[in-house]
Protein backbone atom coordinates (compact mmCIF):
# COMPACT_ATOMS: atom_id res chain seq x y z
CA UNK A 1 0.00 0.00 0.00
CA UNK A 2 1.08 3.59 -0.66
CA UNK A 3 2.60 5.42 2.30
CA UNK A 4 0.60 8.34 3.68
CA UNK A 5 2.29 11.72 3.01
CA UNK A 6 2.76 12.68 6.69
CA UNK A 7 3.80 9.22 7.92
CA UNK A 8 6.67 9.62 10.40
CA UNK A 9 6.19 13.41 10.59
CA UNK A 10 5.36 15.29 13.77
CA UNK A 11 2.70 17.99 13.39
CA UNK A 12 1.99 20.45 16.20
CA UNK A 13 -1.40 22.16 16.15
CA UNK A 14 -2.69 24.76 18.59
CA UNK A 15 -6.42 25.30 19.01
CA UNK A 16 -9.01 27.20 21.01
CA UNK A 17 -8.86 30.57 22.70
CA UNK A 18 -6.41 31.26 25.49
CA UNK A 19 -7.71 32.62 28.80
CA UNK A 20 -5.78 35.23 30.68
CA UNK A 21 -6.50 35.33 34.40
CA UNK A 22 -7.60 38.44 36.26
CA UNK A 23 -8.17 36.66 39.56
CA UNK A 24 -8.96 33.10 40.69
CA UNK A 25 -12.46 33.13 39.15
CA UNK A 26 -12.21 35.54 36.20
CA UNK A 27 -10.37 35.74 32.91
CA UNK A 28 -10.17 37.61 29.61
CA UNK A 29 -11.12 35.29 26.76
CA UNK A 30 -12.37 35.24 23.20
CA UNK A 31 -14.95 33.56 20.96
CA UNK A 32 -12.74 30.83 19.48
CA UNK A 33 -14.50 27.44 19.45
CA UNK A 34 -11.41 25.39 18.60
CA UNK A 35 -13.21 23.79 15.64
CA UNK A 36 -10.64 24.78 12.99
CA UNK A 37 -7.72 23.48 15.06
CA UNK A 38 -9.44 20.20 15.94
CA UNK A 39 -10.38 19.67 12.27
CA UNK A 40 -6.73 20.25 11.33
CA UNK A 41 -5.62 17.73 13.97
CA UNK A 42 -7.95 15.09 12.54
CA UNK A 43 -6.86 15.84 8.97
CA UNK A 44 -3.16 15.62 9.87
CA UNK A 45 -3.77 12.34 11.71
CA UNK A 46 -5.60 10.95 8.66
CA UNK A 47 -2.53 11.81 6.52
CA UNK A 48 -0.43 9.65 8.84
CA UNK A 49 1.14 12.33 11.05
CA UNK A 50 2.04 12.04 14.71
CA UNK A 51 -0.21 14.86 15.95
CA UNK A 52 0.36 16.94 19.08
CA UNK A 53 -2.75 19.06 19.71
CA UNK A 54 -2.04 21.85 22.18
CA UNK A 55 -5.44 23.13 23.15
CA UNK A 56 -6.86 25.93 25.22
CA UNK A 57 -10.27 25.21 26.72
CA UNK A 58 -12.96 24.18 24.22
CA UNK A 59 -16.23 22.25 24.32
CA UNK A 60 -14.84 19.67 21.89
CA UNK A 61 -13.90 16.12 22.80
CA UNK A 62 -10.38 14.88 22.18
CA UNK A 63 -10.01 13.33 18.73
CA UNK A 64 -8.77 9.73 18.83
CA UNK A 65 -5.24 8.87 17.78
CA UNK A 66 -3.64 12.17 18.71
CA UNK A 67 -1.80 13.48 21.77
CA UNK A 68 -3.77 16.24 23.50
CA UNK A 69 -2.01 18.74 25.75
CA UNK A 70 -4.38 21.09 27.59
CA UNK A 71 -3.30 24.63 28.45
CA UNK A 72 -5.03 27.77 29.64
CA UNK A 73 -2.91 30.87 28.97
CA UNK A 74 -0.78 32.19 26.12
CA UNK A 75 2.32 31.67 28.28
CA UNK A 76 1.45 28.02 28.90
CA UNK A 77 0.67 27.50 25.21
CA UNK A 78 4.02 29.03 24.29
CA UNK A 79 5.85 26.74 26.68
CA UNK A 80 4.06 23.62 25.42
CA UNK A 81 4.77 24.49 21.77
CA UNK A 82 8.45 25.24 22.47
CA UNK A 83 8.87 21.88 24.19
CA UNK A 84 7.69 20.06 21.05
CA UNK A 85 9.09 22.37 18.36
CA UNK A 86 12.54 21.02 17.61
CA UNK A 87 11.46 17.78 15.99
CA UNK A 88 8.29 19.07 14.30
CA UNK A 89 7.79 19.05 10.53
CA UNK A 90 4.77 21.36 10.55
CA UNK A 91 3.42 23.75 13.19
CA UNK A 92 -0.07 25.16 12.76
CA UNK A 93 -1.04 28.05 15.03
CA UNK A 94 -4.82 27.84 14.76
CA UNK A 95 -5.35 29.05 18.32
CA UNK A 96 -6.77 32.48 19.03
CA UNK A 97 -3.99 33.58 21.34
CA UNK A 98 -4.86 36.53 23.52
CA UNK A 99 -2.79 39.53 22.43
CA UNK A 100 -2.85 41.05 25.92
CA UNK A 101 -3.07 39.81 29.48
CA UNK A 102 -3.60 41.53 32.83
CA UNK A 103 -0.33 42.93 34.12
CA UNK A 104 -1.26 41.91 37.66
CA UNK A 105 -3.09 38.71 38.46
CA UNK A 106 -4.96 39.17 41.75
CA UNK A 107 -4.40 36.33 44.22
CA UNK A 108 -7.83 36.83 45.76
CA UNK A 109 -11.16 37.54 44.05
CA UNK A 110 -11.40 41.23 43.13
CA UNK A 111 -14.14 42.88 45.24
CA UNK A 112 -16.66 45.29 43.72
CA UNK A 113 -15.85 48.20 46.01
CA UNK A 114 -14.54 50.69 43.44
CA UNK A 115 -17.02 52.62 41.25
CA UNK A 116 -14.74 52.26 38.24
CA UNK A 117 -11.99 49.73 37.78
CA UNK A 118 -9.14 50.04 35.31
CA UNK A 119 -7.27 47.00 34.10
CA UNK A 120 -3.71 47.38 32.98
CA UNK A 121 -2.80 44.93 30.22
CA UNK A 122 0.55 43.85 28.82
CA UNK A 123 1.35 42.07 25.56
CA UNK A 124 1.61 38.29 25.54
CA UNK A 125 4.55 36.65 23.76
CA UNK A 126 3.87 36.21 20.02
CA UNK A 127 4.32 32.44 19.79
CA UNK A 128 4.32 32.24 15.98
CA UNK A 129 6.79 35.11 15.56
CA UNK A 130 9.14 33.46 18.07
CA UNK A 131 8.92 30.16 16.15
CA UNK A 132 9.62 32.07 12.93
CA UNK A 133 12.82 33.45 14.46
CA UNK A 134 13.99 30.00 15.53
CA UNK A 135 12.78 27.76 12.74
CA UNK A 136 14.99 25.21 10.96
CA UNK A 137 13.10 22.62 8.91
CA UNK A 138 9.69 23.46 10.37
CA UNK A 139 6.92 24.62 8.03
CA UNK A 140 4.94 27.27 9.92
CA UNK A 141 1.27 28.02 9.34
CA UNK A 142 -0.51 30.92 10.99
CA UNK A 143 -4.05 32.23 10.87
CA UNK A 144 -5.25 35.77 10.42
CA UNK A 145 -8.72 36.74 11.57
CA UNK A 146 -9.54 40.13 10.15
CA UNK A 147 -12.56 42.31 9.59
CA UNK A 148 -10.93 44.53 6.92
CA UNK A 149 -7.88 44.81 4.59
CA UNK A 150 -7.47 41.02 4.72
CA UNK A 151 -4.85 40.61 1.98
CA UNK A 152 -2.71 43.46 3.22
CA UNK A 153 -2.69 42.27 6.84
CA UNK A 154 -2.12 38.63 5.84
CA UNK A 155 0.87 39.54 3.66
CA UNK A 156 2.23 41.63 6.52
CA UNK A 157 1.94 38.67 8.89
CA UNK A 158 3.77 36.35 6.46
CA UNK A 159 6.77 38.63 6.56
CA UNK A 160 6.61 39.74 10.19
CA UNK A 161 6.22 36.22 11.56
CA UNK A 162 8.39 34.46 8.92
CA UNK A 163 5.55 32.01 8.31
CA UNK A 164 5.36 29.66 5.30
CA UNK A 165 1.61 30.10 5.08
CA UNK A 166 -1.01 32.46 6.49
CA UNK A 167 -4.61 31.33 6.32
CA UNK A 168 -6.78 34.43 6.37
CA UNK A 169 -10.47 34.56 7.17
CA UNK A 170 -12.92 37.39 7.19
CA UNK A 171 -14.48 37.14 10.64
CA UNK A 172 -17.13 39.69 9.70
CA UNK A 173 -18.64 37.02 7.38
CA UNK A 174 -21.16 35.15 9.54
CA UNK A 175 -20.27 31.81 7.88
CA UNK A 176 -16.57 32.17 8.59
CA UNK A 177 -14.24 32.33 11.53
CA UNK A 178 -15.18 32.10 15.18
CA UNK A 179 -17.70 29.63 16.53
CA UNK A 180 -19.20 28.30 13.29
CA UNK A 181 -18.63 24.94 11.53
CA UNK A 182 -17.83 26.48 8.17
CA UNK A 183 -15.06 28.79 7.05
CA UNK A 184 -14.10 30.85 4.04
CA UNK A 185 -10.38 31.39 3.77
CA UNK A 186 -7.64 32.64 1.49
CA UNK A 187 -4.20 31.05 1.65
CA UNK A 188 -1.19 33.38 1.41
CA UNK A 189 2.39 32.16 0.85
CA UNK A 190 5.67 34.00 0.24
CA UNK A 191 6.25 33.20 -3.43
CA UNK A 192 2.82 32.33 -4.74
CA UNK A 193 -0.34 34.23 -5.49
CA UNK A 194 -3.23 34.04 -3.00
CA UNK A 195 -5.40 30.92 -3.14
CA UNK A 196 -9.10 31.52 -2.48
CA UNK A 197 -10.97 28.50 -1.10
CA UNK A 198 -14.76 28.32 -1.35
CA UNK A 199 -16.97 28.40 1.76
CA UNK A 200 -16.84 24.89 3.21
CA UNK A 201 -16.96 22.82 6.36
CA UNK A 202 -13.87 23.30 8.52
CA UNK A 203 -12.90 19.64 7.94
CA UNK A 204 -12.80 20.25 4.18
CA UNK A 205 -10.77 23.46 4.67
CA UNK A 206 -8.39 21.58 6.99
CA UNK A 207 -7.70 18.89 4.39
CA UNK A 208 -7.03 21.53 1.72
CA UNK A 209 -4.63 23.50 3.98
CA UNK A 210 -2.65 20.32 4.70
CA UNK A 211 -2.69 19.28 1.02
CA UNK A 212 -1.10 22.63 0.13
CA UNK A 213 1.54 22.24 2.87
CA UNK A 214 2.32 18.69 1.73
CA UNK A 215 2.79 19.99 -1.81
CA UNK A 216 5.07 22.84 -0.68
CA UNK A 217 7.14 20.37 1.35
CA UNK A 218 7.21 17.99 -1.65
CA UNK A 219 5.99 15.12 0.52
CA UNK A 220 3.44 13.87 -2.01
Interface residue list for ligand C5P (CB under 6 A): 74, 93, 95, 97, 99, 124-128, 142-144, 157
Q: Please identify, using beta-carbon distances, which residue of 70 and 110 lies nearer to ligand C5P.
A: 70
| Nearest approach, Cβ of residue 103 and ligand C5P (Å) | 15
196 is annotated as contributing to ligand binding: no
188 is annotated as contributing to ligand binding: no
Considering only CA atoms, which of 174, 176, 126, 168 is closest in space to residue 149?
168
**What 8-state DSSP symbol labels residue 219?**
-
Q: Which of 30, 164, 169, 183 is catalytic?
A: 30
**What 8-state DSSP symbol labels residue 108?**
S
Q: Is 30 a catalytic residue?
A: yes
111 is annotated as contributing to ligand binding: no
| Nearest approach, Cβ of residue 95 and ligand C5P (Å) | 5
Q: Please identify, using beta-carbon distances, which residue of 82 and 182 lies nearer to ligand C5P.
A: 82
| Nearest approach, Cβ of residue 132 and ligand C5P (Å) | 9
Residues in the chain: 220
Considering only CA atoms, which of 2, 41, 38 is closest in space to residue 220?
2
CB-CB contact of 32 with 16 (8 Å): yes
127 is annotated as contributing to ligand binding: yes
| Alpha-carbon gap, residue 104 to 22, rounded angstroms | 7
| Nearest approach, Cβ of residue 99 and ligand C5P (Å) | 6
Half-sphere exposure of 14 (CA within 13 A, CB side): 32
201 is annotated as contributing to ligand binding: no
DSSP 32-80: --SHHHHHHHHHHHHTT-EEEEEE-S-SPPPPTTSEEEE--SHHHHHHH
* Catalytic residue ranges: 30
What residue numbers does the annotated binding site for CTP cover? 99, 109, 125-128, 143, 157, 161
Amino acid sequence: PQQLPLQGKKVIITAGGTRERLDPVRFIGNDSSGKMGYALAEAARDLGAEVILISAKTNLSAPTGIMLISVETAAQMSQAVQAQFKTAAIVIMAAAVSDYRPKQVAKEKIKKTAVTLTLELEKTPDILATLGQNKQQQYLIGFAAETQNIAEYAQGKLTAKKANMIVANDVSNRNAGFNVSTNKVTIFRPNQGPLDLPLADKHVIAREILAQAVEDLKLN
